[in-house]
Structure formats: structure tokens, C-alpha cells
């Protein structure tokens, strides 16, 4: 059976929440209502990997500007004009890890960003994933304003703002 990468739909949100709850520590799981609000805010930047209507992984992103961090638990603030794709949340169901789904979703998202003419992709690395993102070409950014550092501090544990030039 093949895996389909497609736009996230409202009907996918229950599965997205379940994957999120399994992938993250409890302090980082965001409420279903917030997931729905984010999908409504940036529907063109939310995707799932699905097989036979079962959601196996997801990626929630939005258009932003380089250097602007999204605080945990806040709705997306879409920038107009944007120059970056902010990858806020990507997770794979635990029984489907190691199958290349995260990499496929990332490439799908980066291709979307390039089609929009955006110059960067950015994210906050959490739960000891910094080396994973570095291996994909993201570079940690440490020269942040006090406001952005405060937003970074909203995440549980070590959090790192990372950037990739497209």
C-alpha cells in the first residue's frame, strides 16, 4: 500500500492529536481546539501522510518571517509578506517511525516553500532533536531578541531556534 502526502483536513485532527500526544512530553501537547484554529489559519501549510485513510504523520506549518518564533500554545501569526515557512509541529505515529515519513513530509513542505518564493525554513527543535535537524541542513540561531528568547522559553526542556536557507 502506498502512503499519500496530502493537505490536512478537519476530519484528520483527532488522529493528529493522538499522534501528537504519543510523540511529545505532556507539557508540549497542544489542545485539539488550538490544532483546529491553526488549520483554519494556515490550511495551505498543513499536511498529513496517510495510508488507507489512516493518518500516519503530520506537519503543521505557516508562512512567517525569518527570526520570528512561535510560542508554544499560541495560534499561528501568518506574516504578509512572508519570507519563510515555519515548521511548528511534525510528528510520526510511533508504530510508523523509521519509514522515511518525516523526511518525505519535510521535502514536501520545503518544495511548497520554494514554490512560494520563500527564502527560509525555520523551526524550534525540542526533545533532543537538534542533531537530527542539523543533519538535514538546519543551523541553530542564537542571536535572538529578548522577545524571541521569551517565546523560545515557552517550550518544555531545551529548545533551539533553527534556520535553513532555501
Question: Distance between CA atoms of 116 and 126, rounded to whole angstroms?
Answer: 27
Instruction: For domain 4-165, give the CATH number.
Output: 3.40.630.30
Residue 1 predicted with pLDDT over 90: no
Residue 3: pLDDT band with limits 50, 70, 90: very high
Cα dihedral across residues 92, 97, 98, 100: positive or negative: negative
Give 55's Cβ-side CA count (13 Å radius): 24
Question: Distance between CA atoms of 103 and 101, rounded to whole angstroms?
Answer: 5
Domain ranges across the chain: 4-165
Per-residue pLDDT tens over the stretch 65-117? 999 999 999 999 999 999 999 999 999 999 999 999 999 999 999 999 999 99
Per-residue pLDDT tens over the stretch 8-67? 999 999 999 999 999 999 999 999 999 999 999 999 999 999 999 899 999 999 999 999
Per-residue pLDDT tens over the stretch 104-163? 999 999 999 999 999 999 999 999 999 999 999 999 999 999 999 999 999 999 999 999
Amino acid at each position: 500500500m502506498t502512503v499519500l502526502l496530502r493537505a490536512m483536513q478537519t476530519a484528520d485532527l483527532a488522529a493528529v492529536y493522538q499522534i501528537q500526544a504519543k510523540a511529545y512530553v505532556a507539557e508540549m501537547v497542544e489542545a485539539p481546539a488550538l490544532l483546529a484554529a491553526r488549520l483554519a489559519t494556515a490550511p495551505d501549510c498543513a499536511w498529513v501522510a496517510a495510508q488507507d485513510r489512516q493518518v500516519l504523520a503530520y506537519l503543521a506549518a505557516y508562512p512567517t518571517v525569518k527570526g520570528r518564533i512561535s510560542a508554544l500554545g499560541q495560534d499561528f501569526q501568518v506574516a504578509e509578506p512572508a519570507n519563510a515557512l515555519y515548521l511548528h509541529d511534525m510528528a510520526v505515529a510511533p508504530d510508523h517511525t523509521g519509514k522515511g515519513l518525516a523526511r518525505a513530509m519535510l521535502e514536501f513542505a520545503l518544495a511548497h516553500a520554494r514554490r512560494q518564493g520563500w527564502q527560509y525554513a525555520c523551526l524550534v527543535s525540542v526533545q533532543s532533536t537538534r542533531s537530527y535537524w542539523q543533519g538535514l541542513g538546519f543551523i541553530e540561531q542564537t542571536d535572538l531578541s529578548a522577545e524571541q528568547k521569551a517565546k523560545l522559553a515557552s517550550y518544555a526542556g531545551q529548545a533551539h531556534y533553527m534556520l535553513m536557507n532555501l
